[in-house]
Amino acid sequence: MARMIRKALSLLLCAALLFALAPVTAVHAEGTSGTCGADLVWVYNTETNTLTISGTGKMDDYSFNNSNGLITNNAPWRVYYSMMKSVVINSGVTSIGDSAFAGFTVLKSVTMPDSITSIGRSSFYKCKSLPSVNISKGVKTIHYSAFKECSGLTSLILPNGVTSIGERAFCDCEGLTSFVIPDSVTSLGQFAFYSCDGLTDVTIGSGLTSLSYSAFGVCGRLTNVTFSDNLKNIDERAFYACHALTGIWIPEGVTTIEKYAFEKCENLTSVMIPDSVTSMGYKAFDGCSDDLVIYSGYRTCAQQFAEEYNITFVLGIATTVVVSDLTMNWKSKAALDPTVTTPKGMGYTVAYSSSDPSVVSIDENGEMTGLKKGKATVTVTVTNAVNRTVTDSCTVTVKYTVLQWIIVYLLFGWIWY
């Protein structure tokens, strides 16, 4: 009887060991290499936690599941999602497949060659540890949600060559602080930068003629937007709930501002709207500051809109600055007095710079000091309440007085040194 019990216990122990080893067997079944396209192979280095993809042509597309916040995909390297730190894609590969790295939460580095032309849907979705990506100059299309919720992403430069940014491509990338959309981009998807809460500065390239629905919605720290002169349309809720915006300059050429375009920009106090705008949608500035002022031309669409919604209207949109050349003596001081014109009541700031501070120095108040004989160009930069910047420059000549000539050249400057 005791022998039978010992035999039964041995069988149970063997079964338990086999069960415990089952997951390890599954991982090894996945392997460390394989194919990921008709002519592509992948190799995973378990020592460096690096995936290398080589060959020619398009990478296969994959899909992912989101179960209670845990992202799992069906890429052949999926078992390394919590270990993979680097991805190296070699020249010849032409695309990054859909969902290829979705949910790879410790991924820190991606190297892509110029042969890549397309970054697939959700390809880097929720890669939260990815700090930067060098988008290769061959890329033309960044698809839907490609970098969505890459919260650690702080640096991303798009090359001039990208033509399309898909819907939600950079949504919830809260680490981004500035972004330049290159002139080559002609299509911007809805919610492209939605809820990029760290974004403060955006430059929109000349290729875009329309800003899509909620493209920059809920970018709560956005303070400065630089538009191109080719922009024609600002779509619904394009800047919804951008709480930090205080002023907006809409460029000449824009014809349509859609409904709710700037809804709930609660600190927006100054908007400059050109005469070219012929259509302004329902409650385009609903929920903005009670102190909002619209600046525009006489009997324009903007004036009619302001009157309809009981918004303060001020005639005029131009801001100018003019400075004149001047001459000053060596070791003397002089105040630069630029002539600045802005619409009535609009605030502005002035900044000064000298091309040669060793000849002429100038402080933040415009006071100059002649430091040596010569010439320097002084530039005055005026930024108004809607972040519209204008500049003018003048030549400042520093000369010797008659007495200084005598001291410097006849007495060799001994009194002065």
pLDDT in the model for residue 55: 97
Nearest to 47 by CA among 6, 80, 21: 80
Q: Please state the rounded mean pLDDT for residues 377-389.
A: 91
Contact 370, 328 (CB under 8 A): yes
Q: What is the pTM of this model?
A: 0.82
Residue intervals of the chain classified under CATH 2.60.40.10 are 320-410
- Are the C-beta atoms of 293 and 273 separated by less than 8 Å? no
Closest CA to 290 of 311, 263, 320: 311
In angstroms, the Cα distances linking 18 to 26, 29, 169, 213 are: 12, 15, 45, 55
Question: CA distances (Å), 378 to each of 339, 366, 370, 373, in order?
Answer: 14, 10, 12, 15
Which pLDDT belongs to residue 64?
87
| pLDDT tens track for 274-292 | 999 999 999 999 999 999 9
Q: Identify any residues that bridge with 320 across adjacent strands, giving them in sequence order.
A: 341
CA–CA separation, 102 and 63 (whole Å): 9
Second CATH level (architecture) for the domain 34-157: Alpha-Beta Horseshoe (3.80)
For residue 19, what is the DSSP state? H
Q: CA 261 to CA 280: how far, in whole Å?
A: 9
Q: Which CATH class is domain 320-410?
A: mainly beta
Confidence of residue 412 (pLDDT cuts 50, 70, 90): low
pLDDT at 203 over 80: yes
Q: Where do the CATH 3.80.10.10 domains begin and end in the chain?
A: 173-317
Please provide the size of the chain in residues: 417
Name the amino acid, one letter, at 201.
D
- Cα atoms found within 13 Å of the Cα of residue 273, Cβ hemisphere only: 31
Average pLDDT of the chain, as a whole number = 90
Q: What residues are paired with 93 via a beta bridge?
A: 57
Q: Give residue-wise pLDDT tens across range 22-67.
A: 333 333 335 799 999 999 999 999 999 999 999 999 999 999 887 7
Contact between 226 and 202 (Cβ < 8 Å) = yes
Which residues on neighbouring strands pair with residue 377, listed in sequence order? 395
CATH superfamily, domain 173-317, is Ribonuclease Inhibitor (3.80.10.10)
pLDDT band at 252 (very low <50, low <70, confident <90, very high): very high
Q: Which residues contact 247 (CB under 8 A, 6 or more apart)?
A: 268, 269, 270, 271, 272, 384, 385, 386, 387
Check whether 214 has a pLDDT greater than 80.
yes
Which of 199, 155, 149, 190 minimizes the C-alpha distance to 171? 149
